[in-house]
Amino acid sequence: MSSTATQPGPAPASLKEADMKGALVPGNKPRAGLAWRILQICASLRVTVVLFVLSFLLVFWGTWAQRDESIWAVVNSYFRWWFVWIPLKPLTLELIDLPVYIPFPGGWTIGSLLMINLLAAHAVRFKLTWKRSGIILLHSGIVLMMLGEFVAAFQIEGRMSIPEGHSSNFIESDRTMELALVRRLNDKEQEEILISGSRLRQHDGKPIVDPQLPFDVEVVRYLVNSDLGPADLVSQPNLATVGIGLRQVAVEKSETTGVDPTQAVEIASAYVNLKRKDTGESLGTYLVSAWFSYLLMPPETVTVDGKKYDISLRNKRAYKPYTIHLTRFTHDKYPGTEIPKNYQSDVRLVDPTTGENRLVKIYMNNPLRYEGETFYQASLYPMGKGTVLQVVRNPGWLMPYFSTAMVTLGMLVHFGIMLVNFVNRRLA
């Protein structure tokens, strides 16, 4: 098996042709067997090219689809899944808009096939020579990079919002919600009873009954993305029977799209009917909305059996053993403009479990990495002076760094060898 690398430059095509035949037709070498034959087909460069074409189309349509769907919907349906039904609209670059869907291999299918193809190719043509060193290095880098993207699909993202002078010990998920019943125990602690957003979302008319809950919760309506409006101006029946829901109404809003320049997040709302456990008597239908948490509204309170619960729909929280205290937030602009020059959060990280207690400056391109989590300066605290930190947990975060270096080095070596050979021949 002569390899691609042994013929630097645009190698004689006839020779290449022979290569291909060699890869496809057993018999050049007497190791023929079914497995070997399958391996050779898998290793074919033609397959590589076909897969490249497929991935090109997938990426292209996956970009267009972001005009209509949220970036996360697209990532999860196009790139991080096995197959995708592509609507006609992005497929035809919006020339035709019919509810027709074409099946197409998803990112994981193409990625896996590319991986098989690549590994098979090296298995078939493996030869450890200097001339092939670049190729081997760069392809190992590619393998690592694809694995990195695979690992990244399971990374956890969230954010931590801290007003200046305050602390936080939890990370809010960007996309999952929870219904929280919070009871203050004392100055230092509170009790929380949580119903996950997916439970709320798949409501079926039956109340959620659980021994942990102080009352039964019946989800009357759940809005994935919503807006609020004054009750007297919105022409829809008001489901709420108590509280702020009497004044404000939640209205359905379409999901956000990936190319939306404002990149608004989805803000959910729900109507929940709370029922006494003993009598089944309704305590009222409440409007709960992520808007309220977002706008810093005082919570709705429900008192049952002498216990007072704050009830709110909020982004799912993950509590941490450590606390981050924002001592100072600075936000500079260029003089005479609105162009932000720098954001910086001066924080104190306090972790009683490890005894960690230090000052950290977090600013653009300078994140804080702690306990597997990375805190990035993301934006301004929307309600006042303060910061919003993006928090990411990705155990594979170093993989792209290595793979980029490997692939680049590999290409430099490979193309470098080709160039040197070419120049030598030219001089000869």
Question: Which residues, 50 to 109, sit near another protein by CB under 8 A?
Answer: 52-53, 55-56, 59-60, 62-64, 66-67, 71, 74-75, 78-79, 81-82, 94, 108
User: What is the helix (H) or strand (E) element at residue 409, kind and residue range?
Assistant: helix 399-427
| Cβ neighbour number for residue 260 with a 10 Å cutoff | 12
Specify the 3-state DSSP secondary structure of 278.
coil
Torsion of CA 327, 171, 267, 152, to 10 degrees: 120
Helix axes 107-125 and 130-152, enclosed angle (nearest 10)? 160
Q: Write down the least CB distance from residue 17 to another protein, Å.
A: 5
| Cβ neighbour number for residue 56 with a 10 Å cutoff | 11
Count CA within 13 A, CB hemisphere, residue 132.
15
CA dist., res. 31 & res. 25, Å (int): 12
Find residue 326's DSSP bridge partners. 347
Residue in this structure with the two tokens 């799912």, named with its chain if needed = 316
Question: Residues 129, 155, 236, 357: which binds another protein (CB under 8 A)?
Answer: 155
Specify the 3-state DSSP secondary structure of 49.
helix
Q: Which stretch binds another protein (CB under 8 A): 218-226, 234-242, 275-283, 363-371?
A: 363-371
CA dist., res. 133 & res. 154, Å (int): 33
Q: Quick one: how far is CA 320 from the chain centroid? A: 21
Which of residues 52 and 101 has its CB atom nearest to another protein in the complex? 52
Q: Does 421 bind another protein (CB under 8 A)?
A: no
Over the Cα atoms of the chain, what is R_g? Answer: 29
Question: Residues 27, 85, 303, 334: which binds another protein (CB under 8 A)?
Answer: 334
Q: Which stretch binds another protein (CB under 8 A): 42-50, 98-106, 265-273, 275-283?
A: 42-50
Contacts of 239 (CB under 8 A, 6+ apart): 220, 221, 245, 271, 285, 287
Specify the 3-state DSSP secondary structure of 306.
coil
CA dist., res. 282 & res. 193, Å (int): 19
CA dist., res. 227 & res. 252, Å (int): 7
Chain positions 282 to 311 lying near another protein, rule: CB under 8 A, are 291-292, 295-298, 301, 308
Q: Which stretch binds another protein (CB under 8 A): 160-168, 234-242, 265-273, 274-282?
A: 160-168
Binding mask of the shown chain, residues 260 to 279, with x at each position contacting another protein by CB under 8 A: xxx-----------------
Q: Write down the least CB distance from residue 298 to another protein, Å.
A: 5
Which of residues 102 and 419 has its CB atom nearest to another protein in the complex? 419
Question: Residues 169, 225, 238, 282: which binds another protein (CB under 8 A)?
Answer: 169
Question: Residues 115, 224, 239, 304: which binds another protein (CB under 8 A)?
Answer: 115
User: What spatial distance separates the first Cα and last Cα of the chain, rounded to whole Å?
Assistant: 28
CA dist., res. 161 & res. 326, Å (int): 10
Q: Which stretch binds another protein (CB under 8 A): 156-164, 234-242, 270-278, 354-362?
A: 156-164
Q: Which stretch binds another protein (CB under 8 A): 13-21, 234-242, 273-281, 353-361?
A: 13-21
Q: Which stretch binds another protein (CB under 8 A): 98-106, 141-149, 234-242, 271-279?
A: 141-149
Closest CA to 219 of 248, 191, 190, 250: 250
Q: Does 26 bind another protein (CB under 8 A)?
A: no
Q: Does 342 bind another protein (CB under 8 A)?
A: yes
Residue type, 368: L
Which of residues 44 and 282 has its CB atom nearest to another protein in the complex? 44
Closest CA to 80 of 177, 143, 156, 152: 152
Contact indicator for 139, 410 with CB cutoff of 8 Å: yes
Q: Which stretch binds another protein (CB under 8 A): 193-201, 234-242, 272-280, 354-362?
A: 193-201
Question: Residues 35, 98, 128, 428: which binds another protein (CB under 8 A)?
Answer: 35
Question: Residues 128, 205, 206, 319: which binds another protein (CB under 8 A)?
Answer: 319
Please work out the total of residues on this chain that contact another protein, with binding judged by CB under 8 A.
145
Token duo for residue 253? 């809003």
Q: Which stretch binds another protein (CB under 8 A): 218-226, 266-274, 276-284, 365-373?
A: 365-373
Question: Residues 205, 230, 237, 355: which binds another protein (CB under 8 A)?
Answer: 230
Question: Residues 120, 144, 219, 274: which binds another protein (CB under 8 A)?
Answer: 120
Chain positions 231 to 260 lying near another protein, rule: CB under 8 A, are 244, 247-248, 258-260
Residue in this structure with the two tokens 């709960």, named with its chain if needed = 288
Binding mask of the shown chain, residues 372 to 401, with x at each position contacting another protein by CB under 8 A: --x-x-x-x-xxxxx---xxx-x--x--xx
